[in-house]
Chains A and B, each alone.
Chain A
Amino acid sequence: MPDSTKRLVIASVWAVVLLGLPLWWKTTAVYRAQLPFSQIDSWAERKACQLSFPSTFVIHLASIADGEPQAHNRPLDFAVIQETITSNVNNRLSSTNARECVEFPLHVNIQNWPITSDMSNLLRHTEPSNSKQVISKYDIFIAPQLPAPTTSKLAHVQLGDDRSIVVTLREWTTSDIEEASSAVIAAIVKGERERVRSIACDSELTERSNLDGARTMKFSPTYQMTFSLMNGNPDSLQVDWDIEAAVNTYLKPFISEVSLVSNFTVDSQIQHYADLAVTPQFMEREKLPSYYYLTPQTLPHFINSAEWNLASTISSYPTINFILYIPAADKTPLRIHDDKGESVLCERQPLRSNAFLIPRWGGIAIKNPPKTASGKLEFSKEDLKPFMEIFVAQLRGLIGIHDLKKTMSSLESSYEISLAPTPQTAVTVIEMDAVVKQRIAENVVNSIATLKSLAQLVMDIPNMVVLDHIRTEVQLSLDSLNQACQALQQEDYLKALQHSIHAIERSEKAFFDPTMVSMLYFPDEHKYAIYMPLFVPVSVPLIMAVIKQLKEYKKEKREQKIKAE
């Protein structure tokens, strides 16, 4: 009787333990939502969708009703010209890189352009080929230079502030038409093609070595821009500025133009007692006023990050800083020396702008207070204009806008170039198009890289829990990538930009999800450390009890057998 009680007790404890086993299995099961690894891989290998950045040029060839230019020649064969231009441009830009991971299809259309003989201002005559301006769709208007040609140059190229270019040729021949249009087209697309290709095809390493990529801020849909007025020594000089009006007047148009790609929040501050972290050197000059100067080597240490409170807690967006520095009276005037002319010491000259840019961080301008200034110095909107111009130029560099002037300068040997006056927005439409393309390429490449690392992480850590919402984000990101790629092929850059932004945001959301931290998951060996303190004390008496009972049972059996015999 007591034996059966004992066995019942042991059995009842074991029953609960056995009941716990499936619960153990259930509660420690690692939930892993199936991620679309093959899709991610095919994107990473650039097989999923061919990235292509098409551009269309509509060439409008003048045909004057009076018939004069046409009399020079027989009617032009549009189809032949079209083909020649396309192949010319492609020849000029043919890349040495055999492995093409991006395509740049070029569409050239040729149209008749009926104009009157009055061509005093051709730019005013031009009318875009379609009323709605489309990114990467340009119009080139070609006409003979009617008042007798004055220069020896092949043609005169005028760039408008929209997507139209007017070319006036000295000689109205087919070969010149072809030559001029292919040169112009090549000049416009060359820079952006190279940059997009380097973003899309080159590994990160080469991209970093590229100065251009190092200067540009990492893409973010929103940046925080902080204008700081740093006063070296407020004891002798009080400063104030009307930054709000200056920003509204000089910066707003630019920001609203760029808002297509990124938004900006703007704030400002004035800091006093902003000491320099570096000691400027002193330059004594005969007959000329002496000055203090900073060499390019010391500039990286200009920011006194220990004492200048530039880190913002307002938002988590990447911050672009612009600093207007007023040096203390004992360091005035403060100038910046250029690298040029280092070999001959005396030739070194201070920079005229007295400003410099710190890549991926912001820009700094130094303003030396006038000698006579004492007590209070106030910057009005107009006073700030030169500095705002510097800041806007720096901002262009920071967000990756490339100067069209520089791009076109390659043509200067054989063409006369005139650019439309820089618009108030400080960025032309053609420059903006290039930025949009770069950003699309960057977003697509970065989101692919993020997804790839996520897949890598999940595969490396078999214990990692992958929740359903991670899969959803990854899937949405892949969908957005796909849509962006489709939109690119259809030459719809605005849509592609939107989708590429969604793709990068979603892939980063999945990657930076709090449940996806690899530190949360430990290797299997660590699990023993967690289970041991529980299972060893529990299982030893349980197993011992069972063994003891089995022994007794055998003994009983044997005794019964002996008794029976």
Chain B
Amino acid sequence: MTKKAILIPSFAFILRIVLFNIPTIADTLAARVEVVTPITSFKRLTEGLYLYENSVPPYDNGIFHQAPFLLVLFSALTSLSPLAIPIAYAAVDTFIGYALVGITQMKQRNYANAPKLEVEKAMSPIDPWTVAALYLFNPLTIFSCVSKSTLIFTNLSVVLSVALALKGDAIYSMFWVAVASYLSFYPAMLMPALVLIISNWTPSNNSTLMKQARASTFYFVAWLALFLVSSRILVGSWDYLYSTYGTILCLTDLTPNVGMFWYFFIEMFDQFRNFFLVVFQLHAFIFVAPLCIKIREHPIFVIIVLSGIMSILKSYPSVGDAALFLGLLPVHDELFKYARYGFLVTNLYLYSAALAPIFWHLWIYAGSGNANFFYAITLVYNLGQVLLLIDIVYAVLRRSYDIANPHTIGKEVVHK
């Protein structure tokens, strides 16, 4: 146990507990549209929880859109002590940091023998605790945690599934990715990449991959079915399916967020609403297969890119999604030397972070702006994320090319 291993998590934990105890910060964050969405809001969860504890069907109010397991979890937490919830949130976030440390260590060990560039052989890879610190002290992570957004449980599940996949544990990796899919639907797209990690794919073992894919799919479907059926037993009807996944897929709640959906579907002609819903939702999933095929040597990287795509293209994104994406990014530290847009992307993030609350205020409270102001800022924010994605995908492709063709390093490669 190094000094870092004690200091970083304990400081992160204490910071969160302190912030939880400053009501102005915690309450403000819990109400920000950038941080909480209709499907992750703690306020809506308490509403559902109240109904659930009073034996009223919790989905009847049309406000609560979260998975039934969260009801059980929070029902247990609130019965413990009022302190239990902040402690649980802080602990979960800190634990995600630990899991990132594990992921980084295992990635560095598992792929130690992967081909490398000459310059990398002399360099030591990133310190796993740096990855954890980058996640734990990212303001977006802290905001999302202190807002009590239930997205943190999805992020925890994703991180755990990656960690367990790196360990080669198919059953539990699939368990956690099933939990993530169960909680917020979109992480289901991570499943194929996890299979690649578990089977430890190399060009020589295609048959193990197929075998692993079949087994993993079975585990995934089985876990998911188990969750869905037990949820049905918990809340007593299948209505929750429409209220949770129906809301995610059909976008019934048009509360603004940092994503692209809400404005588009407010303006959409009713006649074409269904068609464009299909287009938008398919768009989020269209990248899975190409990425898994093209970058199959770096399945962790595929997970990173997909979590970035989720944080841009899911129907109710929040900064918590970006926090996961940015938290996973340093795992592949070897790509940073290829990044070209670092300065631009950083500025776009800062720009939108500063202007989003201002434009929101202008629109909602001051009345001197309109919805276009806020939507423009979400476009800037997503532009930043898209640039970042393009940059790292370029980096990974160029790095592979450079490894295969060392003589081209530093030269322009023209793609015909």
A465 at the interface (CB under 8 A from B): yes
Closest partner residue, chain B, to A530 (CB atom): B272
Mark contacts of B253-294 with chain A using CB atoms, 8 A cut-off: 1 yes-contact digit, 0 otherwise: 000000000000000011110111111001001100110011
**Cβ contact of B271, chosen from A20, A23, A521, cutoff 8 A:** A521
For A530, the chain B residues whose CB sits under 8 A away are 269, 272
**B positions within 8 Å CB-CB of A:** 269-272, 274-279, 282, 285-286, 289-290, 293-294
For B279, the chain A residues whose CB sits under 8 A away are 20, 534
**Cβ contact of B278, chosen from A5, A15, A27, cutoff 8 A:** A27
CA distance A277 to B263 in the complex (A): 50
| Contact between B274 and A28, CB atoms less than 8 A apart | yes
A–B Cβ pairs within 8 angstroms, 24 of them:
A5-B293, A5-B294, A9-B289, A9-B294, A12-B290, A12-B293, A13-B289, A15-B289, A16-B282, A16-B289, A17-B286, A24-B275, A27-B275, A27-B278, A28-B271, A28-B272, A465-B271, A520-B270, A520-B271, A521-B271, A530-B269, A530-B272, A534-B276, A534-B279
For B286, the chain A residues whose CB sits under 8 A away are 13, 16-17
CA distance A159 to B270 in the complex (A): 63
For A465, the chain B residues whose CB sits under 8 A away are 271
For B277, the chain A residues whose CB sits under 8 A away are 27
Closest partner residue, chain B, to A4 (CB atom): B293
A contact face: mostly helix, strand, loop, or mixed: helix
| Closest CB in chain B relative to A522 CB, distance in Å | 8
For B294, the chain A residues whose CB sits under 8 A away are 5, 9
A344 at the interface (CB under 8 A from B): no
**A positions within 8 Å CB-CB of B:** 5, 8-9, 12-13, 15-17, 19-20, 23-24, 27-28, 465, 520-521, 530, 534
| Closest CB in chain A relative to B193 CB, distance in Å | 14
| Closest CB in chain A relative to B396 CB, distance in Å | 14
Closest partner residue, chain B, to A521 (CB atom): B271
For A20, the chain B residues whose CB sits under 8 A away are 278-279, 282
For B271, the chain A residues whose CB sits under 8 A away are 28, 465, 520-521
CA distance A5 to B400 in the complex (A): 14
CA distance A17 to B290 in the complex (A): 13
Closest partner residue, chain A, to B296 (CB atom): A5
CA distance A44 to B383 in the complex (A): 60
Closest partner residue, chain B, to A15 (CB atom): B289
| Contact between A19 and B290, CB atoms less than 8 A apart | no
**Cβ contact of A27, chosen from B269, B274, B289, cutoff 8 A:** B274
For B275, the chain A residues whose CB sits under 8 A away are 23-24, 27-28
For A17, the chain B residues whose CB sits under 8 A away are 286
CA distance A9 to B271 in the complex (A): 33
CA distance A8 to B290 in the complex (A): 8
CA distance A13 to B291 in the complex (A): 10
| Contact between B293 and A8, CB atoms less than 8 A apart | yes
Closest partner residue, chain A, to B278 (CB atom): A23
| Contact between A16 and B293, CB atoms less than 8 A apart | no
| Closest CB in chain A relative to B101 CB, distance in Å | 33
Q: Known: A13-B290, A530-B269. Is A19-B274 also a contact (CB below 8 A)?
A: no
| Contact between B285 and A16, CB atoms less than 8 A apart | yes
| Closest CB in chain A relative to B256 CB, distance in Å | 22
| Contact between B269 and A19, CB atoms less than 8 A apart | no
| Contact between A9 and B293, CB atoms less than 8 A apart | yes
Q: Known: A28-B272, A521-B271, A530-B269. Is A12-B289 also a contact (CB below 8 A)?
A: yes
Q: Known: A28-B275, A530-B269. Is A9-B282 also a contact (CB below 8 A)?
A: no
| Contact between A9 and B290, CB atoms less than 8 A apart | yes
| Closest CB in chain B relative to A173 CB, distance in Å | 77
CA distance A12 to B192 in the complex (A): 14
Closest partner residue, chain B, to A28 (CB atom): B275
Closest partner residue, chain B, to A19 (CB atom): B282
| Closest CB in chain A relative to B401 CB, distance in Å | 10
Most buried by B among A5, A12, A17, A520: A12
Closest partner residue, chain A, to B274 (CB atom): A27
| Closest CB in chain B relative to A550 CB, distance in Å | 16
| Closest CB in chain A relative to B301 CB, distance in Å | 16
For A534, the chain B residues whose CB sits under 8 A away are 276, 279
For B276, the chain A residues whose CB sits under 8 A away are 534
For A28, the chain B residues whose CB sits under 8 A away are 271-272, 274-275
| Closest CB in chain A relative to B286 CB, distance in Å | 5
For A521, the chain B residues whose CB sits under 8 A away are 271
| Closest CB in chain A relative to B416 CB, distance in Å | 10
| Closest CB in chain A relative to B265 CB, distance in Å | 14
Q: 4 new A-B pairs (CB below 8 Å) besides A23-B282, A534-B276?
A: A16-B286, A19-B282, A465-B271, A520-B271
| Closest CB in chain B relative to A242 CB, distance in Å | 49
